[in-house]
């Protein structure tokens, strides 16, 4: 099956970037759908800003900007967004019931042969697929933030996903200029978060146990493991509440005590120190 038209459900942090990459790099016709006009306007503004950055770097021309923008069609109407789409990418917030509601609605209006994928970073693909009547045409397609720059896509097989669905989504990923990796089994956190989240949790334990100061922990990991940013800075970026939620999913689904959340994370969240978004986490972001 050849992908020509793509629907992106959600114009937020991830959705707008996915829509941009699909239109700019893969040259797909893209319908970007959200539930409020202001969300669509914000998404389009973020796309325009991102494209202008590429122009400033000399990577694309104004003509290419206009061509990319002409391929993106923002809409509030689910039927309009998905009716003619070959690939439907769900990119709404990481809340199981919210995702399932959007997926069920998209499934209702989508043509029979359309593939539906989720950009979830932690929710079971098999569970999300159950919101549709096409689990064999459903898989995970996990982009990384920001989608315009990050090369990786995790393609995740659900319990009923067919080989054909996987190969089509892998090809679409490559057409978007990405490097796909295949997750053969639907497992919490897939590859990257399965390794990353316990590492971030361990960094919080080092603070909790008084082993070292946050600045020195971050410096050690940046210089010793060549990470672009330290784990505690990254926790502040991700949000301590989001990291805690993922840790709890691992403990619940995998049943291993090694995933036990650091008590410091819970204490900080109770105190309202969520990281960058609240102005304070392991670091003070108010300045």
User: Active-site positions?
Assistant: 121, 142, 154, 193
Please state, in angstroms and as integers, the Cα–Cα distance from residue 145 to each residue in 71, 91, 119, 258, 259, following that order: 22, 12, 11, 27, 24
CB 205 within 8 A of CB 265: no
- Smallest Cα–Cα separation from 87: which of 149, 25, 168, 167? 168
> What are the helix (H) ranges across 57-159?
62-70, 78-82, 96-109, 125-129
Q: Distance between alpha carbon 154 and the CA centroid of its chain, in Å?
A: 10
**Half-sphere exposure in the Cβ direction for 265 (13 Å, CA):** 26
Q: CA neighbours within 13 Å on the CB side: how many for 137?
A: 17
What CA–CA distances, in Å, run from 176 to 27, 38, 93, 151? 8, 27, 22, 9
One DSSP character per residue, 147-207 reads: TTT--EEEEEE-TT--HHHHHHHHHHHHHTT-EEEEE-S--TTTTHHHHHHHHHHHHHHHH
């Amino acid at each position: 099956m050849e992908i020509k038209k793509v629907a992106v459900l959600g114009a937020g942090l991830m959705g707008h970037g996915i829509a941009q990459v699909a239109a700019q790099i893969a040259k797909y016709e893209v319908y970007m759908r959200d539930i409020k006009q202001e969300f669509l306007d914000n998404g389009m503004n973020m796309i325009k800003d991102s494209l202008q950055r590429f122009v400033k770097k000399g990577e694309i021309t104004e003509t290419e900007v206009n061509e990319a923008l002409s391929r993106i069609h923002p809409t509030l109407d689910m039927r309009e967004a998905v009716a003619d789409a070959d690939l439907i990418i769900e990119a709404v917030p990481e809340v199981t019931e919210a995702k399932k509601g959007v997926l069920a609605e998209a499934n209702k209006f989508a043509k029979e042969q359309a593939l539906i994928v989720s950009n979830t970073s932690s929710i079971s693909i098999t569970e999300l697929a159950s919101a549709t009547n096409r689990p064999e045409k459903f898989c995970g397609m996990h982009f990384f933030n920001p989608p315009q720059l990050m090369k990786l896509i995790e393609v995740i097989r659900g319990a009923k996903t067919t080989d054909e669905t996987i190969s089509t989504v892998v090809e679409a990923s490559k057409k978007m200029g990405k490097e796909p990796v295949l997750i053969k089994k639907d497992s919490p956190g897939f590859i990257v978060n399965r390794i990353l989240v316990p590492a971030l949790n361990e960094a919080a334990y080092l603070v909790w146990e008084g082993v070292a100061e946050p600045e020195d922990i971050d410096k050690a990991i940046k210089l010793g493991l060549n990470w672009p940013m330290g784990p505690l800075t990254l926790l502040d970026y991700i949000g301590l509440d989001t990291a805690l939620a993922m840790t709890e999913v691992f403990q619940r689904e995998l049943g291993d005590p090694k995933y036990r959340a650091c008590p410091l994370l819970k204490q900080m969240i109770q105190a309202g120190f969520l990281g960058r978004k609240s102005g304070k986490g392991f670091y003070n972001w108010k300045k």
